[in-house]
Chain A
Amino acid sequence: LAKTTQPISMDSYEGQEVNITCSHNNIATNDYITWYQQFPSQGPRFIIQGYKTKVTNEVASLFIPADRKSSTLSLPRVSLSDTAVYYCLVGEGNQGGKLIFGQGTELSVKP
């Protein structure tokens, strides 16, 4: 499975847009890019998934350039409740959903 690299931590303020970039230089043709969010004392929660270009849902947007060697999770107008750890994962489509979690990015949103 492709390894991912993302910043260990980020700080932001309420109302700002936050962009978290993840590098996955060894991504393979069959790999999908998935982001999860984890609050303290809770299990991770699926945010968004994409293969290429841009994906948007009610929570976030995911930008994937043509070479797919990186991806950017964009959180619009964050609030204090967005303080969490965000994980970028890359997995093969035929792995039956197997996920390997890295260290994640600890996002701290301040008032």
Chain B
Amino acid sequence: DAGVIQSPRHEVTEMGQEVTLRCKPISGHNSLFWYRQTMMRGLELLIYFNNNVPIDDSGMPEDRFSAKMPNASFSTLKIQPSEPRDSAVYFCASSLGRTSGDYEQYFGPGTRLTVT
């Protein structure tokens, strides 16, 4: 298996522009997670899905952020409009999503976002 695939790997954009990050989870995994990592705040969970349904979006910073999972093999994280403080590495992870005690998540390589 190719593992979790994220695209693009690097994104540089100007403030105010829309940014879309993409993720393909491991086939057969039922849960998908979006994280953001910065030096100041560490690794933060933004949102996670189970069976394509958003379960917890309490980590989404504000309305400028939205995430979708239209099917089991694809998810997007969109920022509109982007701001310099959104600059970070965004990770997507997936797991089998069993109901109990399943914390083995597989992380993608991340997307390094720079907003100027």
- Residues of A at the B interface (CB closer than 8 Å) are 32, 34, 38, 41-46, 49, 51, 87, 89, 91, 93-94, 96-104
Contacts and interface: CB of A to CB of B under 8 A. Distances in A.
B31 A49 contact: no
B45 A97 contact: no
Contacts, number: 69
Interface size class of B (residues with CB under 8 A): 20 to 34
30 contacts: A32-B101, A34-B104, A38-B43, A42-B109, A42-B110, A43-B93, A43-B107, A43-B110, A44-B43, A46-B103, A46-B105, A46-B106, A49-B103, A51-B101, A94-B100, A96-B48, A96-B56, A96-B97, A96-B99, A97-B48, A97-B95, A97-B97, A97-B98, A97-B102, A97-B105, A98-B55, A98-B56, A99-B103, A101-B45, A104-B42
Contact of B45 (A87, A99, A102): A99
Contacts of A98: 45, 48, 55-56
A49 B102 CA distance: 9
A46 B33 CA distance: 14
A32 B100 CA distance: 10
Contacts of A97: 31, 33, 48, 95, 97-98, 102-103, 105
A99 to B, nearest CB: 6
A51 B43 CA distance: 24
B42 A94 contact: no
Contacts of B100: 93-94
B50 interface: yes
